[in-house]
Amino acid sequence: MIRQVVTYDVFTVLIVVGLILVALSKVFFERRFKDFTYVFINSTYLKVYEKEQRFFDLFDGLLFANLVLGLTTFCCVSLNYVNDTFEISYNIVLKLIIGIAIFFIFKTLLERLIASLFEIDKILDAYLFQKISYKNFLGLLLIPINIILLFGITPSVYAIYIAIAILLLVNIVGVVTSYKSNQNLIKQNMFYFILYLCTLEIGPFLILYKTIIDY
């Protein structure tokens, strides 16, 4: 169990709110949600709903909010056990929620801006939709993972690393799938693709990781 009772209540609330957000997405978009749950093993969802995407999509918005709450909970629980000097407070939880949300939103807007400048909106929109879908799927996985870490077992460093490995595996599969679906285009623009990976994929996450660890 997590060491501080006050934060235990906070994470319980975050998980419940996340479940409510997922439930709302299922109620309002029943057919789409059903298709979405198979996105990891079936590309039908990506092919069908990629054409219907909008700048702001309520379905993706609800699942994104759940992702932010799930990542906040997972980061706090993980750091609480990996780093003995890390102390959880309401202030840190709030900062993480805001920071993670701003990070992903700003990153997506920056990618769309670059796509617009280079007039590759249609190409990058498809890629971004795939990335967003897989990240939102990670948000679904974080619900049972966080519940197990908080209520099911006494977390250890090994349990945290196993959970991280599962999340990384899903993310890697998503990246590989996106690469395969855009393989011909990437080969034609390999230099720009590598530049994109370094500046907008790998770089921001390294900065975020260092910020969290140093903080």
Q: Give Cα 118 distance to the centre of its chain.
A: 26
Tens digit of each residue's pLDDT, the chain (215 residues): 444 444 578 899 999 999 999 999 999 999 999 999 988 887 788 888 877 777 778 999 999 999 999 999 998 888 877 776 667 788 889 989 999 999 889 888 888 787 777 666 666 777 788 888 989 999 999 999 999 988 877 767 788 888 888 888 888 887 777 777 767 766 766 666 676 666 666 666 666 666 655 65
Claim: this prediction has a pTM higher than 0.95: no
Tokens 């056990």: give the residue: 81
DSSP string of 136-178, one letter each residue: HHHHHHHHHHHHIIIIIS---HHHHHHHHHHHHHHHHHHHHHH
Question: Domain locations in the chain?
Answer: 5-214
